[in-house]
Chain A
Amino acid sequence: MSAPSIQHLLTEKRLLICVGAGGVGKTSMAATMGVHAAMMGRKVLVLTIDPAKRLANSLGLHEFGNEETPIDLSPLGETEGELWAMMLDGKHAFHELIDRVAEDDATKQAIYENNIYQSIADTIVGNQEYMATEKLYDVIHLGGYDLVILDTPPVKNALDFLESPGRMAQFVDKRIMQWFLADGKDRGMLRRLISGTSSKIFGLLGHIFGKDFLEDIAVFFQHFKELYEGFQERHQAVEALFRDSKTGFLIVLSPTEPAVEVAKFFVEQLKIRRMPLLGVIANQCHRSTPRSEQSSANLQQLCQSNSADLASDTVNRMMARMRSAHNRLLMLQTYEQELVSSVQQGLTSSQGLHQVPKIKGEVHDLPALFKVGQFLMEES
């Protein structure tokens, strides 16, 4: 079986997840694939956590937020498809979740004012990832999209994302909840627990965390108990989604040693977790072609005819400079190709290795973004 093309993946899949080291262009790749899938007629959502304003700008927006925002594709021509973009804001999404699930305004208010809730919403590392999976559940089940492309957060421990649904779900784990809630009465749970079976350990935790904190947690759990079923259900649904046949992972890398190392690590980890890796995108690869003697002569001539008004050594200096710059570029290309092909060895024949050349300057508008994606669409 030969590896499916990116074009094929954009047609067939419902969820594509881009992963990789920071700074390799995951967000741009997610966006450009979204643009192409929409131009192919699909209804697409690009979900990003990276608050890069440039991406919004390149999609023709000033910025986009926690709402699904339509992107005007008219600069690229006619299409029946649609492109939507959304940036995840963990705190905002968490508020939304509470609003949706809380029984009444008083409960809502009590949750908002709870210390624990505030710390989860404001500070807690991993909340972004958790909310990403929450939102993922929403858009997949309710959004009516043909395809969702998820740009994962730039984490050093790149697996945080895959593990984060579990981390939050653990916090609202039934056993912990029961610990705090006992038989559901609202008051005196601490006293009751301290005389209960887990009393020793609970007492110790009180010692470690402070009794006030445990009280806060108990109150938090009371308000959260109706959310509990929902959390578990969604957590399981998202986990199942990660392994669905219409879902797949794409590893994005740039041809540098650290990014390639992270990519290889991901290949391995996805295999261990039985999560479907569809391919690797090597982004920002330098590309050039060797120069012939004839072209050097042509260039020399071109320099001379353009430098009548310039200092006499300019032509020689420029020729030397260009030769050296071009030689370095060719060396870099060879080096990068070696690095990139070292990733190939870990892939099966059904996992493609796709290359996107580095383009000059930064991507400023929709046509430029589209152009970057064309390299992905061309099958070599």
Chain B
Amino acid sequence: MKIRDILHSRLIFVSGKGGVGKTCVSAALGKSAAQSGKKVLLVEVDNFHASFPSIFDSPIGYEPRELESNLYGCNITWMKALEDWLVNTVRIRTIVQLILKNRVAMLFLNATPGAREIVILSKIADLLEDYDQVIVDLPASGHALGILRVPGTAMQLMRSGPIYERAKQILQVFSNPRAMVLLCALPEEMVVNETVEFADKIRKDVPQFKTLGVLLNRVSIPSFNQDETTLLSRLSEATDDQNSLDVKNVVEAAVWDQELEDASIRAIERLNAELGYDVLSLPKLGLLGGFGGGTPKVVQQMTTIFARKYRTEKS
């Protein structure tokens, strides 16, 4: 997969296992596209505790707000989206207010399975009209799958009516060749396993998506030569039962680096084999691939890398 395929998409749903960097990747993709002149919207989904504000040092709300030049952000909250949805469906504001003020009706709407997801996805589909690109920072794997499956289920469930029609339209949006699901992963065995499983489930349960990408984050580039590898394993063995803890600590620091490189190679091989194409990767950033240096800085670094990859692909 090429970075071009992602940057040229109209709609990107970003997900993956918890803690893999979904939000940073979403933000960096948005910055990259915005800097190339596109009008981009970053979306958080009904997030009680929005994450984009700490990256862009700007609050976000239901209405899109400009975070940087060409780059907008919003948090689609259920109640506001519901109001919008009712206004679009019923068309008469006083009646909408009647529904919103009726306790039983609200209990019903709040609790009706799938209503939340349909209403939010519907809002995303609407927003698509005003932007060149919309990037949705979905929750972690299981919940993301739950959200993306709802339109299909709603169509089976409703059989007719406005929700049925809306669900159908949302599935049409999903099946646009320029809509995609992007899964973020890390070079760790457990994360790679979950990513592969998740990709299978998306293909099976939401077959409308024509493009499914994986972005492997925090990859260590191989740097140990053969002799260094040999020496390091000898040192590791020699210090195994050594009393001098600080000698051992220094050796271990290098062993750690090497293990990350090996894990990265394994993850790339496995993902390439499972997906049938070359997975995109991002190097580890910050201190030892942690977040050291601050999230906004990491996002900035990612953005620079995306731009560089894009230029390389073009030339």
How many residues in B have their beta carbons less than 8 Å from beta carbons of A?
A: 87
Q: CB distance B19 to A254 under 8 Å? A: yes
Question: Within the assembled complex, what's the spacing in Å between the Cα atoms of A302 and B242?
Answer: 12
Q: CB distance A318 to B254 under 8 Å? A: yes
Q: Is B273 among interface residues, defined by CB-CB distance under 8 A?
A: no
Among residues of B, the one whose C-beta sits closest to the C-beta of A25 is B19
Instruction: Using known A-B contacts A124-B113, A302-B235, determine if residue A210 contacts B291 with beta carbons closer than 8 Å.
Output: no
| Segment from B3-11, B94-102, B207-215 that makes contact with A | B94-102
Give chain A residues whose Cβ lies under 8 Å from the Cβ of B256: 325, 329, 360
Q: CB distance B114 to A176 under 8 Å? A: no
Cβ < 8 Å to A, chain B residues 232-263: 232, 234-235, 238-239, 244-247, 249-257, 259
Instruction: Choose one: B147, B231, B259, B290; the contact of A314 (CB below 8 Å).
Output: B231
| Segment from B29-37, B61-69, B103-111 that makes contact with A | B103-111
| Segment from B123-131, B159-167, B304-312 that makes contact with A | B159-167
Q: Is A234 among interface residues, defined by CB-CB distance under 8 A?
A: no
Question: Within the assembled complex, what's the spacing in Å between the Cα atoms of A327 and B10?
Answer: 43
Give chain A residues whose Cβ lies under 8 Å from the Cβ of B105: 201, 204-205
Within the complex, the shortest CB–CB distance from A257 to chain B, in Å, comes to 5
Main secondary structure of the interface of A (DSSP, over half): helix
Q: CB distance A314 to B253 under 8 Å? A: no
Q: Is B73 among interface residues, defined by CB-CB distance under 8 A?
A: no
Q: CB distance B54 to A261 under 8 Å? A: yes
Question: Within the assembled complex, what's the spacing in Å between the Cα atoms of A211 and B116?
Answer: 19
Give chain B residues whose Cβ lies under 8 Å from the Cβ of A209: 112, 158, 161-163
Instruction: Choose one: B102, B163, B231; the contact of A318 (CB below 8 Å).
Output: B231
Q: CB distance B163 to A210 under 8 Å? A: yes
Q: Is A376 among interface residues, defined by CB-CB distance under 8 A?
A: no
Q: CB distance B143 to A123 under 8 Å? A: no
Main secondary structure of the interface of B (DSSP, over half): helix
How many residues in A have their beta carbons less than 8 Å from beta carbons of B?
A: 89
Instruction: Choose one: B47, B102, B232, B252; the contact of A156 (CB below 8 Å).
Output: B47
Q: CB distance B159 to A119 under 8 Å? A: no
Give chain A residues whose Cβ lies under 8 Å from the Cβ of B111: 167-168, 170-171, 173, 176
- 18 extra interface residue pairs, beta carbon distance < 8 Å, beyond A204-B105, A314-B228, A318-B231: A23-B191, A52-B190, A119-B114, A122-B153, A123-B153, A154-B18, A155-B140, A198-B104, A210-B159, A256-B290, A259-B19, A288-B249, A289-B245, A291-B249, A295-B244, A295-B246, A317-B228, A332-B287
Could you list some 20 contacts between A and B, CB below 8 A?
A21-B18, A23-B19, A52-B194, A122-B153, A156-B143, A158-B49, A170-B110, A171-B112, A175-B107, A209-B112, A209-B162, A213-B158, A217-B112, A257-B295, A261-B54, A289-B245, A307-B231, A318-B235, A325-B250, A325-B253
